[in-house]
């Protein structure tokens, strides 16, 4: 049974495409499952409406599950009694006769309630009436079918697709379709509140106004509010109290705290009663039992029933129970509708402590509440700016954007411009960030406000990192430290990136030492995540792949180190790359999928090209260029100014071109990187893996002098930096160049040098590439047996990676080499192995240029082979040759 599409792509678009393919080509049964309100029925209606097939539709209902052939009767338009005495074979025959020769589609909605005889008839129709042009589509809710139906339904499906929740992007599209386009922050809040359920999204769009208000409170849709009200009305007093208490906490809460707040002697019995109705959910194990509302909409419905007055009372009691100061203040703030300067000051103090630890999300909430509660207008503005700054630091860019109009209306101050510049960086807006940060530095006052000046320096450090300017990064990091000392949070964050600047300035070993020293100084807290991520990134640059994966894996989850989603996304982007190089491509795709979901939820655009690069390359290597192009399109956010965005886009384009043997396109994609300054990370060994790709393409395009100059320059840099991985990559590219000059011995020596070095590393992808280039070069030099051995190894390596596009290229190279072919390398028509390869490629519709790129020869050589082929096989054109090839393949 086939599973649903890869989550890197847009789920619903992939599912729609899969359904349309089935309707066009036949097949089935197809099982489409998804939660209640997920949009299964709507999707099936849309795809079926676009087909010419005759539609037979039925909707199963729960009270007809015991009525034999209730669904088949609907499909046939007859009374159930007309089918009395039929068995599944007879009922299937009736359906086949009803359809006749017309292409048809059978759609059964709520198929989890289908009666078993009807399902057996539909399965029999699909399996025993192959000549009947009918497609069966079943829409079901997971867990809704009886056991006797659930398993047969899963086994019978030839294609099984799961319709998950809408992403924020899909919610945005749905809102626009309904004529209610929403600002990004409203889209994100609506997505989180409804859990991406289309039915609930549409309901709230109809029921609410004021969507452009940043602090709009989202209630439960009426459907859920009514259901929750009925469920609560049926609870006992203790269970109702428990549900109300749990809803008044902002997060999952321990059972002991619930019991003490609600004054319940026995909490387990009411918990079981509430959980049975789905009003609360239990998390964790037996040692630390925690409960929370079933979902955000249930919590909203319960709070509406409780009312603000009672909710405030519950929260004040809870504040007296909880031990954690932050949770206590959070509860008191939620229970305080008006101004309270004392509470605002306590929240401000809490935010300062949290910011010092790098816990920006906690700091942001405290500052927002303090801004709301304070009665001092001048404090309110500053607290709001600081809250937005903390939201950006936490990676909550969408939430920060919602408050930017308010910030832009404030006075033109250093901190205001620093915040605007910080946001522009994460959105990938290079010029805007440069303007805002320059203005912030002009307005700074180091004597009276060194803290703000230090934070401007820290944003300058991040800006320089994204620009790939190592020297500028180091200078701003040192300036921050000089202003406030190495213990200050701004300095710690700057120092967490300083090592990357040192490495980008050409001193990688010194940079590794910096990170080792910093790891000893900062042992706990969210700042550890920044240091761990930077250290892992640096390990990847210098070629320590195993160390890179270990550090980056620990830096990805924010729960492990208590850090921010911003840092987590950086770690995910480089971790996916490390997994790719190590050959763990499925794992790399999972990291990318999770990263892209979180990038979309947070609004952070600057990392998406880095994530998309890895996914697109894997899809192209696995023979799915359409999916690769979709990934690139979906991750093409922001302007080209930042190196951290522009370079992975170019590398992805080059990877897609290389996978289809279009080396001219590879050169065009990468040539702009050659004009970047020597101080840029693009010119530094190890930062971006592009030099071997570019040199290889130059050779195969015939630009040998340019390739020589390019390789000589970068070989010396790689050796000076001691970057073994970069030296190995350039060595096999050098082998290509020697082979192009006809020097087999020099080529062999370069290739062997590269392979020996790579054999001691975890770089499986690079090892496969080196063998492929080695084998192809030896074949063109006439060393066919030597080439056969090396290409066979390359094929095995590519096969293990799942690089099907390169497996096919290895097969063509091996056939062209002809070592294992009979009749001394000639087929029945007297064609040589190379001529046979030309026939196969030309017969697919490829041009001479495309064939030349694939076989790595010149277009003139291809034309020469074609002329000889026409004479040998007795044809006069490419069309006749392709027809003859198809006939021979069919008769073989």
CB atoms within 10 A of CB 428: 24
> Are 607 and 629 contained in the same domain?
yes
pLDDT of residue 523: 66
Domain boundary among 149, 164, 179: 164
Domain-located, residue 343: no
CA–CA gap between residue 726 and residue 503 (Å, rounded): 15
SS3 497: helix
pLDDT of residue 824: 42
> Are 603 and 636 contained in the same domain?
yes
CA–CA gap between residue 599 and residue 10 (Å, rounded): 14
Look at residues 246, 222, 219, 367 and name the one whose alpha carbon lies nearest to residue 311: 246
- Is 807 in contact with 795 (CB distance < 8 Å)? yes
**Can you read off the two tokens belonging to residue 625?**
């260029």
The residue range of the domain holding 531 is 524-647
**Can you read off the two tokens belonging to residue 708?**
């020589």
Domain-located, residue 238: yes
**CB contact burial 471-499 (16+ within 10 A = b; e otherwise):** ebbbbbbbbbbebbeeebbbbbbbbbbbb
CA–CA gap between residue 136 and residue 143 (Å, rounded): 21
> Are 124 and 173 contained in the same domain?
no
For residue range 145-170, list pLDDT tens digits in order.
Answer: 888 888 888 888 888 888 888 888 88
User: Between 360-373 and 325-334, two packed helices, what is the crossing angle to 10 degrees?
Assistant: 40
CA–CA gap between residue 199 and residue 36 (Å, rounded): 8
Domain-located, residue 392: no
CA–CA gap between residue 740 and residue 730 (Å, rounded): 15
CB atoms within 10 A of CB 309: 8
pLDDT of residue 823: 38
**Can you read off the two tokens belonging to residue 674?**
């050659």
- 584-592 — which CB contacts under 8 Å span 24+ positions? 585/618, 585/622, 585/801, 585/802, 588/614, 588/615, 588/618, 589/6, 589/8, 589/615, 589/618, 591/556, 592/8
Look at residues 774, 855, 767 and name the one whose alpha carbon lies nearest to residue 811: 855
- State which residues of the chain have pLDDT below 70: 1-11, 284-288, 523, 525, 558-563, 637-640, 677, 818-830, 856, 864, 886-892
CATH number at residue 121: 3.40.50.300
SS3 437: helix
pLDDT of residue 188: 87
pLDDT of residue 888: 64
> Are 719 and 833 contained in the same domain?
no
CATH number at residue 705: 1.25.40.10
Domain-located, residue 402: no
CA–CA gap between residue 609 and residue 611 (Å, rounded): 5
CA 395 vs. chain centroid, Å, equals 16
CA–CA gap between residue 500 and residue 508 (Å, rounded): 8
Domain-located, residue 100: yes
Q: How many CA atoms lie within 13 A of 587 on its CB side?
A: 14
* Local structure of residue 179 (DSSP, 8 states): T
> Are 509 and 545 contained in the same domain?
no
Domain boundary among 457, 492, 523: 523
Domain-located, residue 69: yes
Domain-located, residue 407: no
Q: Which helix (H) or strand (E) holds 189?
A: helix 184-194
Cis peptide before 29 (omega within 30 of 0): yes
Task: Find all residues with CB under 8 Å of 349, minimum gap 6, and list them.
Answer: none
CA–CA gap between residue 469 and residue 776 (Å, rounded): 38
CA–CA gap between residue 126 and residue 573 (Å, rounded): 45
> Are 642 and 782 contained in the same domain?
no
**Phi/psi at 200 (nearest 5 deg)?**
-75, -35
CA–CA gap between residue 753 and residue 724 (Å, rounded): 11
For residue range 283-302, list pLDDT tens digits in order.
Answer: 765 555 788 888 899 999 99
**CB contact burial 731-752 (16+ within 10 A = b; e otherwise):** bbbbbbbbbbeeebeebbebbe
CA–CA gap between residue 271 and residue 255 (Å, rounded): 9
pLDDT of residue 294: 81
pLDDT of residue 614: 96
Domain boundary among 756, 790, 817: 817
Ranges of H-type helices in 485-561: 489-504, 508-521, 527-542, 545-555, 558-561
> Are 518 and 529 contained in the same domain?
no
- Is 476 in contact with 464 (CB distance < 8 Å)? yes
- Is 243 in contact with 274 (CB distance < 8 Å)? yes
> Are 675 and 802 contained in the same domain?
yes
Number of domains in the chain: 7
> Are 553 and 463 contained in the same domain?
no
SS3 135: strand
Domain-located, residue 557: yes
User: Between 168-177 and 198-207, two packed helices, what is the crossing angle to 10 degrees?
Assistant: 50
CA–CA gap between residue 133 and residue 99 (Å, rounded): 8
> Are 616 and 528 contained in the same domain?
yes
Sheet with 159-162: list strands edge to edge.
Answer: 54-59, 104-109, 134-140, 30-33, 159-162
Q: Which helix (H) or strand (E) holds 210?
A: none
CATH number at residue 280: 1.10.10.10
> Are 443 and 584 contained in the same domain?
no
> Are 330 and 273 contained in the same domain?
yes
CA–CA gap between residue 231 and residue 530 (Å, rounded): 46
Q: How many CA atoms lie within 13 A of 398 on its CB side?
A: 20
Look at residues 162, 225, 217, 166 and name the one whose alpha carbon lies nearest to residue 194: 166
């Amino acid at each position: 049974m086939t599973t649903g599409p890869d989550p890197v792509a847009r789920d619903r678009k992939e599912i729609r495409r899969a359904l349309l393919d089935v309707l066009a080509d036949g097949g089935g049964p197809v099982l489409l499952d998804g939660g209640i309100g997920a949009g299964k029925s709507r999707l099936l209606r849309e795809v079926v409406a676009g087909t010419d097939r005759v539609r037979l539709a039925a909707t199963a209902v729960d009270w007809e599950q015991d009525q034999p052939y209730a669904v088949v009767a609907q499909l046939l338009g007859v009374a159930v009694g007309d089918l009395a005495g039929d068995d599944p074979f007879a009922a299937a025959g009736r359906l086949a006769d009803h359809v006749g020769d017309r292409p048809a589609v059978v759609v059964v909605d709520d198929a989890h309630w289908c009666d078993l005889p009807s399902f057996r008839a539909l399965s029999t129709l699909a399996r025993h009436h192959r000549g009947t042009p009918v497609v069966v589509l079943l829409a079901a809710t997971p867990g809704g079918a009886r056991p006797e139906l659930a398993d047969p339904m899963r086994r019978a499906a030839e294609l099984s697709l799961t319709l998950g929740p809408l992403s924020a992007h899909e919610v945005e599209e749905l809102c626009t379709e309904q004529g209610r386009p929403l600002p990004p922050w409203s889209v994100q809040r609506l997505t989180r509140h409804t859990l991406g359920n289309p039915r609930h999204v549409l309901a709230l769009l109809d029921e609410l106004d004021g969507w452009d208000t940043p602090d709009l409170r989202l209630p439960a849709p009426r459907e859920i509010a009514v259901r929750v009200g009925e469920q609560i009305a049926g609870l006992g007093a203790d269970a109702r109290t428990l549900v109300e208490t749990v809803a008044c906490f902002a997060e999952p809460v321990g059972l002991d705290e619930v019991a003490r707040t609600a004054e319940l002697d026995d909490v387990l019995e009411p918990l079981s009663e509430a959980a049975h109705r789905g009003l609360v959910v239990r998390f964790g194990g037996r040692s630390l039992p925690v409960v929370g509302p079933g979902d955000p909409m249930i919590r909203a419905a319960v709070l509406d029933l409780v009312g603000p007055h009672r909710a405030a009372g519950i929260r004040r009691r809870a504040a007296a129970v909880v031990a954690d100061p932050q949770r206590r203040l959070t509860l008191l703030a939620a229970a305080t509708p008006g101004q309270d300067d004392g509470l605002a000051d306590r929240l401000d103090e809490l935010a300062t402590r949290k910011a010092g630890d790098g816990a920006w999300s906690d700091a942001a909430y405290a500052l927002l509440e303090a801004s709301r509660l304070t009665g001092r207008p001048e404090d309110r503005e500053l607290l709001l700016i600081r809250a937005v700054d903390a939201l950006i630091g936490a990676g909550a860019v969408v939430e920060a954007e919602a408050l930017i109009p308010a910030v832009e209306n404030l006075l033109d101050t250093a901190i205001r411009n620093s915040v605007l510049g910080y946001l522009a960086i994460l959105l990938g807006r290079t010029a805007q960030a440069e303007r805002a940060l320059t203005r912030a530095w002009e307005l700074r006052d180091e004597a009276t406000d060194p803290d703000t000046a230090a934070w401007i320096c820290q944003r300058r450090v991040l800006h320089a990192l994204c620009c790939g300017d190592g020297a500028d990064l180091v200078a701003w990091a040192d300036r921050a430290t000089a202003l406030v000392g190495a213990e200050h949070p701004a300095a710690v964050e700057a120092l967490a990136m300083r090592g990357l600047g040192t490495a980008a300035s050409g001193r990688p070993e010194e940079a590794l030492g910096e990170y080792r020293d910093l790891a000893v100084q900062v042992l706990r807290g969210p700042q550890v995540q920044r240091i761990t991520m930077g250290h892992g990134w640096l390990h990847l640059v210098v070629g320590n792949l195993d160390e890179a994966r270990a550090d980056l894996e620990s830096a990805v989850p924010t729960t492990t180190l208590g850090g921010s989603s911003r840092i987590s996304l950086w770690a995910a982007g480089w971790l996916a790359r490390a997994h790719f190089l190590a050959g763990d491509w499925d794992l790399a795709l999972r990291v990318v999928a999770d990263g892209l979901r979180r990038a979309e939820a947070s609004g952070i655009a600057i990392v998406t090209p880095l994530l998309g690069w890895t996914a697109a390359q894997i899809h192209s290597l696995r023979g799915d260029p359409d999916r690769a192009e979709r990934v690139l399109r979906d991750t093409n956010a922001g302007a080209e100014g930042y190196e951290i965005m522009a370079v992975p886009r170019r590398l992805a384009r080059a990877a897609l071109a290389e996978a289809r043997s279009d080396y001219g396109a590879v050169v065009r994609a990468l040539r702009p990187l050659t004009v970047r300054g020597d101080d840029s990370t693009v010119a530094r060994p190890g930062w971006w893996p592009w030099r071997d790709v570019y040199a290889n393409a130059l050779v195969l395009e015939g630009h040998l002098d340019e390739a020589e100059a390019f390789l000589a320059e970068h070989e010396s840099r790689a050796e000076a930096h001691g970057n073994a991985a970069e030296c190995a990559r350039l060595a096999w590219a050098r082998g290509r160049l020697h082979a192009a000059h006809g020097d087999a011995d020099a080529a062999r020596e370069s290739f062997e040098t590269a392979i020996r070095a790579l054999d001691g590393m975890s770089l499986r992808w690079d090892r496969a590439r080196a063998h492929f280039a080695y084998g192809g070069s030896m074949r063109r030099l006439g060393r066919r047996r030597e080439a056969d051995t090396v290409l066979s190894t390359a094929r095995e390596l590519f096969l293990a990676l799942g690089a099907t596009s390169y497996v096919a290229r290895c097969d063509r190279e091996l056939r062209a080499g002809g070592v294992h072919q009979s009749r001394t390398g000639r087929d029945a028509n007297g064609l040589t192995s190379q001529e046979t390869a030309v026939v196969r490629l030309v017969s697919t519709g490829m041009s001479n240029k495309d064939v030349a790129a694939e076989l790595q020869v010149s277009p003139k050589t291809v034309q020469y082979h074609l002329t000889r082929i026409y004479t040998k096989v007795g044809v006069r054109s490419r069309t006749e040759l392709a027809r003859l090839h198809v006939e021979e393949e069919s008769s073989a």
